[in-house]
Amino acid sequence: MKMNYPLTKKKLFFAATFAFLTLGFTANAQETGPVSNPTDTIYPIVEQAQSDLAVLKRLKITGYVQADYQKADTAGIASFADGNFGSGINNRMLVRRGRVKFAYDNELSQAVLQLDITEKGVGIKDAYLSLTEPWLKTLAVTGGVMDRPFGNEIAYSSSSLESPERSRIIQTLFPGEKDLGGMISLQAPKTSPWNFIRLDAGYFDGNGAAVETDSKKDFIGHLFLGKASSSEKFKWGIGGSYYNGGFAQVTTNYYTMVKDANGVEGYAKSTVTKGAIAKRQYVGVDAQLSLDWALGITQLRAEYLQGTQPGSSSSNASLTAAMVGDTYSRKFNGYYAYFIQNILQTPVQLVVKYDVYDPNTDVSGNNIGKAVVAGNVKTGAADVKYSTLGLGINYRWNSNVKIMAYYDMVTNETTSLITTPSTLTNLAKDRKDNVFTLRLQYKF
């Protein structure tokens, strides 16, 4: 019997195709069963996103860039407005600060790393960790490179400072503001009646953010009290600071100020053991007042320091490296005062600042550089007092940008006994070393 093969094949083909398609639809129908509640899908995603965000929010990245144009009265002058002007140079553009700060805050613990990146290079500003006890949340321990806990101007953020630089005395005694050490901080939480008191105290290498050069550790402490009135129209603060430290001397010669047989002040040598500690001791008081009144917010800030500073014959600045040569000990004092007026509710702010640094209070005027008896050393340029009057105006463009125009008028103590051909080093007259700074700051 002849089989109707082609027809069967056709039927088979269509049957297979039909079955295949049916199965496909059925499978699809099974895949697209009853729709689940969309919130069941969204909720875990949102929860995960919230959890991720909470972790990310612990890391804060902030920073600022300060671009300056500066003009000095005289080319090549020594200056505390961000360093000396190069030989033959009386104006310059520079990146004064380029800071980026990473802060990880896990409530009771914190780690901070801050770098300074400018055309001069890259340096560390902060590198510390801080732990707060969980019971009273009053005591914190901090270790690493951090601001020295002395006075008010050191810890005042450079991005918020109303003048381009800190006072001469602060720059001289605390170069770079930072030091390497460990510190405890005591301040009760905001809900406590004792919250208005804060104590920071610790031991530091004393060399700034640099490698330690001796075994001597310096104690630095600051006690602060501050409150605002209930009307929030008046705020005050007062603090006391103490520094007790020194460095190991590398020679056996130690010079201190005396009045010789002729009544002339100069340095007399005494012999000490090599490695003996040269005393570095300061006391300071600081005060701040803020008043919100008809003309806007007025701020007054002032600080006074005095003490004993070890240095060299030619420098009264604090060390940032190992000492070289004989040690010269000087009694000093100095102060600064800011008057800041915010003009009504405008972004304009007027600044007047006056600071004085007398690196050697045992000698003044025409006694500086006077000849002394044999064996003693006469005083010199490192013993000259400086005062600086600064006038400035700040314009806060927005939350990121600030424009500053500031003029520093520097006056040095004069002595007819230190005359040099160069006007840069001559101290018989007041040097022409005023500096104008125009700054553009971007903060993020």
Partner 1 sequence: MKKKLITLSLVVMMLPALLSAQKVVCKIKGSDTCLPLSQRFSEAFMKKAPGSSISVIGGGSGVGLSALISGTTDIAQSSRSIKMDEKMKLQDAGKVLKETTIAFDALAIIVNPANKVSQLTREQLEGIFTGKITNWKQVGGDDLQIIVYSRESSSGTFDFMKEHVMSNKNYAKTALMMPATGAVVQSVSQTKGAIGYVGLAYLEKGVKALKVSFNKGKTYTEPSIETAKSKTYPITRPLHYYYLGSIEGKIKPLINFILSAEGQAIVLKEGYVPLN
Q: Looking at 73, 105, 260, 292, which residue binds partner 1 (CB under 8 A)? A: 292
Which of 32, 39, 215, 345 is the binder for partner 1 (CB under 8 A)? 345
| Residue of the chain from 347, 366, 412, 417 that contacts partner 1 (CB under 8 A) | 347
Q: Which is nearer to partner 1, 215 or 230 (CB)?
A: 230
CA–CA gap between residue 380 and residue 359 (Å, rounded): 11
- Beta carbon of residue 83, minimum distance to partner 1 (angstroms, whole number): 27
Q: 144 to 163, contacts with partner 1 by CB under 8 A?
A: 160
**Residue choice 171, 185, 290, 316 for contact with partner 1 (CB under 8 A):** 290
SS3 14: helix
11, 233, 274, 429: which one binds partner 1 (CB under 8 A): 233
Alpha-carbon distance 212 to 357, whole Å? Answer: 27
Contacting range for partner 1; rule: CB under 8 A; set: 189-197, 270-278, 369-377, 413-421: 189-197
Distance, C-alpha 196 to centroid of its chain: 23
* Cα 96–Cα 99–Cα 105 angle in degrees, nearest 5: 155
Taking CB under 8 A as the criterion, the residue among 101, 235, 259, 279 binding partner 1 is 235
What sign does the dihedral 149-150-156-157 (CA atoms) show? negative
Any contact of residue 50 with partner 1 (CB under 8 A)? no
CA gap 208, 171 in Å, rounded: 12
Contact between 288 and partner 1 by CB under 8 A: the answer reads no
Nearest to 381 by CA among 346, 421, 414: 414
Secondary structure element (H or E) that encloses residue 291, with its range = strand 277-293
How many CA atoms within 13 Å lie on the side-chain side of 150?
27
C-alpha distances in Å from residue 431, one per residue of 355, 364, 386:
17, 17, 11
Of 2, 232, 294, 422, which lies in the binding site for partner 1, with binding defined by CB under 8 A?
232
Q: Which residue stretch of 22-30, 248-256, 345-353, 382-390 sits at the interface with partner 1 (rule: CB under 8 A)?
A: 345-353
Ranges of beta strands (E only) in 73-151 are 91-105, 109-118, 121-132, 139-147
Least distance CB 347 / partner 1 (angstroms): 4
Among 191, 215, 271, 273, binds partner 1 (CB under 8 A): 191
Interface residues toward partner 1, by CB under 8 A: 160, 190-193, 228, 230-233, 235, 290, 292, 297, 342, 345-347, 349, 395-399, 401-402
